[in-house]
Amino acid sequence: MCGIVGYIGEKNSIPILIEGLKRLEYRGYDSAGIGVISNERKETRVIKSLGKVSLLEDKVEQTSIDASSLGIAHTRWATHGEPSVVNAHPHFNKEETLYLVHNGIIENHTEIKAKLSKDGYEFVSETDTEVLVHLFDSLMKKGNSLLKSVQIGLSEVRGTYGISVISKNEPDKIVVAKKGSPLVIGIGDGEHYVASDVNALIGHTSRCVYLDDGEIVEITKDKFVASTIDDKDIKKEVHEISVELDKISKGDYPHYMLKEIFEQVNSVRDSFRGRILMSEGTAKLGGIERIAERLANSKRLLLSACGTSWHAGLVGEYMLEQFTGIPVEVDYASEFRYRNPIVDRNDSMFFISQSGETADTLAAMKEAKRRDALILGLCNVVGSTIARESEAGVYVHAGPEIGVASTKAFTSQLVVFALISVLIGRKRHLSLIDGQEILRELEALPKKIEKILKLNDQIEAIAEKFVDAKNFLYLGRGYNFPVALEGALKMKEISYIHAEGYPAAEMKHGPIALIDENMPVVFIAPKDSVYDKVITNIEEVKARKGKIIAIASENDNEIDKLVDYSIKIPDTIRMLMPILSVIPLQLLAYHVAVKRGLNVDQPRNLAKSVTVE
């Protein structure tokens, strides 16, 4: 998953490209580069650097480049070939007349490379991408236009791509193409932008078109012509970009992750705003209204996702089964697609994805489509591929989430699952009173989240005690078991400390062997129907000298006698407790990582949107 930016118009492209890469840096940040064609002498220039975009920016500032109104740029998350300058994009042909940036994986790059090598092409990088630029170059040398060369070349390619290509021989256009990796075109007056997602377009234009798989577009400063790879003209719908610039800046926060944790007062409210029908005790979800009856009569509800979104699915499973009475199954998307899943048209399948671009989740969706299930998206990014390729769905409305570690998207996903549970439940056996209780508790969440965020200093002080921890164990029961998994994921992905989440009762079946005075154990232990059993687990850990942090109810004074640290949070109904109990765990992981001096927003080896399998 990399970030691609392109510009063609009247302005100098270089600052636009650099700013665009910074906006997309959460998609990949091990190396970056730009390739431009100067206005006067039509000179091509490429500058690449290892590391973050800011290092590329420094390099560009130290280089004198003529004004160039045509350029492409790329920030990389390495798949084939280690992070290095030579492997950074743009890649180019020997004569440096053709530049290309790519997001995705060319599966048959070895075959193509062998063929081109036989024709005398020399390869300088270890990447799969480089085969594309030489393939297109070989076709242009046979007299094909840039567009035709890309069309013919891509017909030989297997794999996924989002590409932008420019040529010194046709210095008035960019050719872009998409299959499996996102690309969006920003429409300006006398200028056009290309980007991997709309965050790079905000502030430049509010109009865009999203490319679909198998599409190729020739873009000049005044127009764009879209066609399929097999050369059929197509008409693209223009969309409005509704995100404002302030939504994607850090503001006064030191990190996007902290900003997004604190935004949860509003993002949770935005997720249910306008969707509560209190008098009927149900929810109004426009994106699934049309298929609501079919959904309510599903034989099974299947949920598929990766990472944090998979954890949201686990909470959704508890909610949906409790309130709709329909059997629910949750799958890792990456596993679902390799099983031979028994799925048919009586099943409804939700694909949960913050980015809406996760390759494994997209692939699972394609597999489910082949089996006629009702395909539903539960995404945060408007216009994302999963959202556009689903039959229906619900946007979670968390707002742009830039920090690689997902926080507000997770709590918004849970709000949406609660709304879906009420909507379907009220078409089945959920009473008006029970529906109204859930909705009232949803409306009460923002104030409770505000209270929890006031514990930030206390949580930071606790984090201080665990900066040198080597392991963490997270334990929870029922609705809070997925929260234990999510808390562990937050800790490991930003602090690089090994952490595991487990059902609290499972501890006796192995993990208890890990407990000693060096093992911090985090319990999610609100006063609910399984509280007494969790207290028993706490006592088992205490008896073995484990260091215990408990997320507990604010009116629970007993637990303090048993644990080393207690973080007291407001209560709510069981099904909504994960939305509250996860927030202290987000803050705990954040502060431990910051105190370890790590890059919280862009942790090593990770990227925000995993668009490769």
Least separation in angstroms between residue 379's CB and ligand AGP is 8
By CB under 6 A, name the one of 31, 167, 355, 495 that touches ligand AGP: 355
CB 199 within 8 A of CB 400: yes
Structure tokens at 441: 């508790």
How many residues interact with ligand AGP (rule CB under 6 A)?
16
- Residue 129 interacts with ligand AGP (CB under 6 A)? no
Closer to ligand AGP at the Cβ: 92 or 210? 210
Q: Which amino acid is at 134?
A: H
Least separation in angstroms between residue 223's CB and ligand AGP is 33
| Residue 561 φ/ψ, nearest 5 degrees | -75, -15
Q: Which of 113, 490, 547, 608 is catalytic?
A: 608
Structure tokens at 493: 């992905």
Structure tokens at 612: 């490769």
Closer to ligand AGP at the Cβ: 306 or 392? 306
Least separation in angstroms between residue 47's CB and ligand AGP is 30
Structure tokens at 543: 């008896």
**Contact positions with ligand AGP (CB under 6 A) in 490-519:** 493
Least separation in angstroms between residue 502's CB and ligand AGP is 18
Closer to ligand AGP at the Cβ: 353 or 602? 353
- Residue 404 interacts with ligand AGP (CB under 6 A)? yes
CA distance 207 to 185: 9
CB 375 within 8 A of CB 390: yes
Catalytic site includes residue 379 = no
CB 117 within 8 A of CB 195: no
- Residue 170 interacts with ligand AGP (CB under 6 A)? no
CA distance 513 to 521: 13
- Residue 556 interacts with ligand AGP (CB under 6 A)? no
By CB under 6 A, name the one of 69, 125, 196, 406 that touches ligand AGP: 406
CA distance 531 to 521: 16
| Residue 439 vs residues 247, 298, 394, 420: alpha-carbon distances, Å | 27, 23, 17, 11
DSSP string covering 334-385? HHHTTS-----TTEEEEEEESSS--HHHHHHHHHHHHTTPEEEEEESSTT-H
Least separation in angstroms between residue 498's CB and ligand AGP is 16
- Residue 411 interacts with ligand AGP (CB under 6 A)? no
User: Which residue's entry shows tokens 């199954």?
Assistant: 329
Closer to ligand AGP at the Cβ: 177 or 387? 387
Closer to ligand AGP at the Cβ: 103 or 353? 353
The contact pattern for ligand AGP, residues 299-318, with x = CB under 6 A and - = no contact, is -------xxxx---------
Pairing mode, strands 498-503 and 471-476: parallel
Least separation in angstroms between residue 213's CB and ligand AGP is 18
CA distance 81 to 105: 12
Least separation in angstroms between residue 574's CB and ligand AGP is 24
Q: Which residue is nearest to ligand AGP (CB)?
A: 307
Closer to ligand AGP at the Cβ: 363 or 535? 363
Task: Examine residue 400 and say whether the peptide bond preceding it is cis (omega within 30 degrees of 0).
Answer: no
Catalytic site includes residue 561 = no
CA dihedral (424, 427, 428, 429) in degrees, to 10, reads 100
Task: Examine residue 90 and say whether the peptide bond preceding it is cis (omega within 30 degrees of 0).
Answer: yes
By CB under 6 A, name the one of 129, 304, 361, 436 that touches ligand AGP: 361
CA atoms within 13 A on the CB side of 93: 21
Closer to ligand AGP at the Cβ: 268 or 489? 489
Catalytically active residues, by annotation: 2, 608
Residues forming the site for ligand AGP (CB under 6 A): 306-309, 353-355, 358, 361, 404-406, 489, 493, 609-610
